[in-house]
Amino acid sequence: MLSKFDYAKPLVLGEALNVLSKNEGDTYILAGGTDLLIALRHNLIDAKHIIDIKSIPELDVFEFVEGKGLEIGANVVCNTLIESEIVKEKYTALHDAAAVLATYPLRNRATLVGNICNGSPGADLPPSLLIYDAAVKIASAEGERTVPLKDFFTGVKKTQLAANELVISVLLPDPGSAEDRSCYHRQTRLKGHDLSSVGVACRINGDGKAAIGINAVAITPLRLTVLEDELNTKGITEESISWAAEEIKNHIKPISDVRASKEYRLHMAGVLLKQGLTQLMEKEA
């Protein structure tokens, strides 16, 4: 049985933020609802207030501006990312990650913002956002602030969001160069029906520098900046990629759980990193 809760469906952002400010604590946001409804049905949360944001036009934004970047609103679903030519061309890793998320009907409900706000260490979309230096645009009745995604996650199922705040969009800078390329590879127990056992996003920008994002190997999704710096100092070659595939084990701290053992995650992180960087190097050639 679902818990009893007050339900609000504001039509403008200001109204939503005012409702949120009055109901701090035990208040949940409903956009796609793919995680929230499961939690309610299984009594994993005790919701006192639910704010349905699906009818707020400001949160539907999905706009790319040359030289500035892409803004993805809180109501944008994953199938929109998959179908977007801009995402395919300029943020390929994000397209790849969205394409392996759940199933088509669920992707018609699941939102990118919901995926990051859930705070799961194994979420598929964060690694691909991290390699593009994504930022999170947050609003409350007191105003707005922007936080780098790498600082947004604070622990398992934990983020920087305060009780009176709402993520209104995610911002991705324009990669600029046509030579910029990326990809996302993951390993999972059941295709399309499970979180990643490990997922790795790789990017090589127009200057030939690598960026690496990874999930399910720490308490939050990670951007492996130290490994990137070491790899970029060596240069992207077959030898340096093989080196990075071994070295990555020193930059992650996976655990054993129902999806995979610690040892398996350590191994697959290297395998997926090598696959991704090799794919991008061959694409350049």
206 and 238 belong to one structural domain: yes
Domain boundary among 173, 194, 225: 173
Class of residue 17 by CB neighbours under 10 A (exposed 0-12, middle 13-18, buried 19+): buried
Helix (H) or strand (E) holding 171: strand 166-173
29 and 14 belong to one structural domain: yes
**Position with higher pLDDT, 93 vs 23:** 93
Domain boundary among 124, 141, 173: 173
The answer to whether the predicted template modeling score (pTM) of the entire model surpasses 0.85 is: yes
83 and 69 belong to one structural domain: yes
What's the pLDDT band for 193 if we cut at 50, 70, 90?
Answer: low
pLDDT given for residue 2 in this prediction: 66
Average pLDDT, the chain: 93
Looking at residue 8, its amino acid is A
What's the pLDDT band for 40 if we cut at 50, 70, 90?
Answer: confident
Q: pLDDT at residue 210 above 80?
A: yes
61 and 167 belong to one structural domain: yes
131 and 223 belong to one structural domain: no
Return the sign of the alpha-carbon dihedral for residues 157, 161, 163, 164. negative
234 and 277 belong to one structural domain: yes
Helix (H) or strand (E) holding 208: none
What average pLDDT does the segment 222-236 reach?
A: 98
**Position with higher pLDDT, 106 vs 223:** 223
pLDDT given for residue 133 in this prediction: 98
d(CA 111, CA 12): 19
Q: pLDDT at residue 1 above 60?
A: no
89 and 166 belong to one structural domain: yes
pLDDT tens-place string over residues 83-122: 999 999 999 999 999 999 988 898 999 999 999 999 999 9
d(CA 190, CA 200): 17
* CATH number of the structural domain spanning residue 265: 3.30.390.50
1: in domain: no
Q: pLDDT at residue 25 above 80?
A: no
pLDDT given for residue 17 in this prediction: 96
Q: pLDDT at residue 24 above 70?
A: no
Q: pLDDT at residue 269 above 80?
A: yes
Beta bridge partners of 167: 138
169 and 185 belong to one structural domain: no
* CATH number of the structural domain spanning residue 71: 3.30.465.10
114 and 169 belong to one structural domain: yes
110 and 198 belong to one structural domain: no
Of 25-34, 67-76, 136-145, 217-226, the range with the lowest mean pLDDT is 25-34
Q: pLDDT at residue 203 above 60?
A: yes
Number of structural domains in the chain: 3
Domain boundary among 173, 192, 215: 173
198 and 224 belong to one structural domain: yes
What average pLDDT does the segment 197-210 reach?
A: 97
Distance of CA 17 to the CA centre of its chain: 24
pLDDT given for residue 180 in this prediction: 97
What average pLDDT does the segment 250-277 reach?
A: 97
pLDDT given for residue 43 in this prediction: 76
How many alpha carbons fall within 13 Å on the CB side of residue 91? 30
What average pLDDT does the segment 189-206 reach?
A: 84
17: in domain: yes
**Cβ(103)–Cβ(110) below 8 Å:** no
Domain around 250: 181-284
pLDDT tens-place string over residues 152-189: 999 999 999 999 999 999 999 999 999 999 999 999 87
pLDDT given for residue 174 in this prediction: 98
163 and 89 belong to one structural domain: yes
